[in-house]
Amino acid sequence: MLVSAADLLAGSHAGLVLLDVRWALGDDHGRERYLAGHLPGAVFVDLETELAGPPSSTQGRHPLPPVQRLQESARRWGITRDSRVVAYDATGGLAAARAWWLLAWGGLTDVRLLDGGLDAWRRAGGPVETGDVVPTAGDVTLAGGGLPVLSIDEAAALPSSGVLLDARAGERYRGESEPVDPRAGHVPGAVSAPTSDNLAPDGTFRSPDELRQRFAGLGVQPGGAVGVYCGSGVTAAHEVAALATAGIEAALWPGSWSQWSADPGRPAARGE
């Protein structure tokens, strides 16, 4: 699930594919930052065009890409059927988790997140290089369905039988602020669980025990049904990763609030 910078530095790089997924909402300079300095051999991954399908009001801002297109991208990144894949970013995995989730959903079993990302790598003394990396094309085959997903109707029904976690910042959940989607608020019955609380102060994931305690406090029961959403299904993948680290399987709702809030027939709750 996670690999530390120290273990990545010390381990064998045979068959290793590194994915640089630097992205943030409203920031389109990820590639420029990649070119200025990245892990040696890392390939840049564009979240908007390679880790999402075209945006729409019916599917959300970052719907899942078609499996065939994801496969074409993965082959461009140099992934083969025998590759070990590690994704990273410079924001504690908030963007890289989308690559981790998609590739695991596509059927890859050896895909991890660099715990703490680029900052942890630098703290461990890892080297960086500049410029672009164009790998030899891979031959991986992806199928989809490797991880559970929720439809909008399944997400709406989940609070009556399980826990639906809202991974956005608390002010967006409460409806105090909405910088990008059509309406403010949250899905009725959803529980506020900001993604930022998955991380320790140094940007690495909290320990499995800490994460288990966190999610238990939010009503997550062992073996219970758990779903996660955010604004558009990106940072929700980070929450799914945190839950997996704690030994809890959770389903991702790809459309998330961007899909829900675009439908005037769906109610929006406010407050805690």
pLDDT tens sequence for the chain (272 residues): 899 999 999 988 889 999 999 998 778 899 999 999 999 999 999 999 999 999 998 999 999 999 999 999 999 999 999 999 999 999 999 999 999 999 999 999 999 999 999 999 999 999 999 999 999 999 999 998 999 999 999 999 999 999 999 999 999 999 999 999 999 999 999 999 999 999 999 999 999 999 999 999 999 988 999 999 999 999 999 999 999 999 999 999 999 999 999 999 999 999 98
Contacts of residue 98, defined as CB under 8 A and 6 or more positions apart, other chains included, come to 21, 47, 51, 62, 233, 234, 237
Has 230 been annotated as catalytic? Answer: yes
The model carries a pTM of: 0.96
Domain boundaries, the chain: 2-123, 152-260
Top CATH class of 2-123 equals: alpha beta
pLDDT at residue number 272: 87
* Contact present, 215 and 243 (Cβ < 8 Å): yes
Q: Which fold has domain 152-260?
A: Oxidized Rhodanese; domain 1 (3.40.250)
Fold matches, 2-123 and 152-260:
yes
pLDDT at residue number 13: 85
51, 230, 237, 252: the active-site residue: 230
pLDDT at residue number 1: 87
Q: How far is CA 224 from the centre of its chain?
A: 22
Tell me the C-alpha distance between 31 and 16, whole Å. 21
* Contact present, 164 and 182 (Cβ < 8 Å): no
Backbone φ and ψ of 265, nearest 5°: -85, -5
Tell me the C-alpha distance between 44 and 32, whole Å. 10
pLDDT at residue number 97: 98
